[in-house]
């Protein structure tokens, strides 16, 4: 069966058809022909959609799925369907399950559960056993089984020497180490950005300093050890500047920002809605602008949804008692598209993250595998509860105005259309 995409604007800086409107014929999972006009045959599945744009398939580098252990939050099968309908042809899945993904068999379990899905699953294995921060996990064995990076999701490595050893050891197999940017001693029990709003609302503050100290430590260690370090979900102005200076020094450091940190600030906390309780916490308007500029200037390499489903029993409770985390797959595109130029963030969804995590990027060229996302960047929508596809409903974007609509994906020889 062949699929014909009609009048598709191609957004792919690595393609000879970048910014051009073309017909695209896909046969047996490959881009057979790209031309101004391709004649329709009765055997083709024809896709004609309003203001259709296509890009290389999007890759989300931080997705949490409940399975194993928290299937009531999200199963792997359902989570992959949500990712596909949200425009993601591949996702990196965090290790925060029960048991934690910290062994060869755990990694193989995740990969096997995603077999033959349209969206491909790549495990991020735990950096330490049980993510306890005490002993390094069997990183090499897990990489051999398919893990693409190592990090304890939303848990900082407090032991300086352990982080040093991890950075040294990972170099033996070109492994990528993730370090969550938070100093627990400084952050304490803080649940909101330390500042005017936390003071007004009587919420315990988590100062930006906690993020800065951890990033500074990690950069000092990286300079000493060499290797590759990825800092996920930074949230402050100074964090952008610290990483900018480290890159100037030639350190192999990369970073990501969560979509919600590009759009929302701690002004949202006045209703004490636990859907705005995130880790790192929502910061200030100044931080938001600095993060947006960080994307535009290339200091920030990756935009992620940081999708983290939390069941209602742990989320729809008093703000101070609620678990951190928001879902974001369904809203990621519409959120960032409302504040950033298309070319800037598409790069942060495609070529940049795939290069960092060593995943092949299939450019939109004849003969290549079809791994593409279909979307309309112009339409505006009010994101509603009915738009949530995930099992858990803890979205920070309900009733927010978003820009753009995801039509679906073509990947792994499968067409998924909303």
| Residue 106: active-site member | no
pLDDT the model gives residue 40 = 87
Overall average pLDDT of the 47-66 stretch: 97
- Class of CATH domain 2-53+366-417: mainly beta
List, for residues 111-161, the tens digit of each pLDDT value: 999 999 999 999 999 999 999 999 999 999 999 999 999 999 999 999 999
Q: Which of 23, 218, 301, 306 is catalytic?
A: 306
Alpha carbons 91 and 27: distance in angstroms, whole number: 24
Flag whether pLDDT at 64 surpasses 90.
Answer: yes
What's the pTM? Answer: 0.96
Overall average pLDDT of the 85-114 stretch: 97
pLDDT the model gives residue 171 = 97
List, for residues 379-411, the tens digit of each pLDDT value: 999 999 999 999 999 999 999 999 999 999 999
Please give the structure tokens belonging to residue 291.
């993060």
CATH architecture for segment(s) 58-356:
Alpha-Beta Barrel (3.20)
pLDDT the model gives residue 293 = 98
Query: What are the residue ranges spanned by the domains of the chain?
Result: 2-53+366-417, 58-356
pLDDT the model gives residue 130 = 97
DSSP string, 149-167: EE--TT-----HHHHHHHH
Contact 24, 34 (CB under 8 A): yes
> What confidence category does residue 362 fall into, taking pLDDT thresholds of 50, 70 and 90?
very high
DSSP string, 98-149: SS-S-SHHHHHHHHHHTTT-SSEEEEEE-SBGGG-SSSB--HHHHHHHT--E
pLDDT the model gives residue 26 = 97
Alpha carbons 24 and 20: distance in angstroms, whole number: 12
pLDDT the model gives residue 42 = 77
């Amino acid at each position: 069966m062949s699929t014909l995409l009609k009048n598709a604007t191609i957004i792919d800086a690595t393609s000879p058809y970048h910014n051009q409107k073309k017909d695209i014929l896909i046969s047996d999972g490959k881009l057979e022909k790209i031309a101004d006009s391709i004649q329709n045959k009765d055997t083709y599945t024809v896709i004609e959609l309003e203001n259709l744009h296509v890009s290389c398939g999007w890759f989300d580098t931080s997705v949490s799925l409940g399975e194993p252990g928290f299937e009531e939050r999200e199963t792997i099968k359902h989570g992959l369907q949500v990712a596909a309908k949200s425009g993601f042809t591949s996702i990196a899945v965090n290790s925060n399950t029960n048991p934690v993904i910290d062994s060869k068999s755990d990694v193989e379990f995740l990969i096997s559960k995603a077999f033959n899905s349209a969206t491909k699953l790549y495990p991020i294995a735990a950096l330490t056993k049980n993510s306890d921060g005490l002993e390094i996990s069997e990183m090499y064995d897990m990489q051999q089984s398919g893990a693409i990076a190592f990090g304890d999701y939303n848990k900082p490595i407090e032991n300086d020497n352990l982080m040093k050893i991890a950075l040294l050891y990972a170099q033996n197999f070109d492994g990528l180490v993730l370090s969550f940017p938070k100093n627990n001693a400084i952050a304490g029990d803080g649940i909101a950005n330390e500042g005017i709003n936390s003071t007004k609302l009587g919420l315990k503050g988590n100062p930006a300093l906690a993020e800065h100290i951890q990033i500074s430590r990690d950069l000092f260690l990286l300079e000493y050890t060499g290797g590759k370090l990825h800092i996920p979900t930074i949230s402050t102005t100074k964090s952008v500047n610290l990483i900018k200076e480290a890159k100037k020094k030639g350190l192999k450091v990369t970073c990501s920002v969560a979509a919600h940190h590009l759009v929302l600030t701690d002004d949202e906390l006045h209703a004490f809605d636990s859907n705005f309780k995130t880790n790192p916490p929502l910061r200030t308007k100044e931080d938001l602008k600095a993060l947006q500029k960080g994307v535009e200037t290339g200091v920030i390499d990756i935009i992620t949804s940081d999708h983290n489903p939390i069941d209602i029993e742990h989320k729809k409770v008093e703000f101070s008692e609620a678990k951190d985390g928001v879902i974001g797959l369904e809203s990621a595109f519409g959120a960032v598209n409302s504040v950033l130029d298309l070319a800037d963030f598409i790069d942060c969804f495609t070529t940049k993250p795939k290069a960092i995590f060593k995943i092949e990027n299939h450019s939109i060229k004849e003969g290549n595998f079809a791994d593409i996302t279909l979307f309309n960047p112009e339409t505006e929508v009010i994101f509603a509860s009915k738009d949530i596809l995930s099992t858990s409903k803890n979205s920070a974007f309900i009733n927010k105005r978003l820009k753009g609509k995801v039509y679906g994906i073509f990947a792994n020889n499968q067409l998924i259309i909303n």
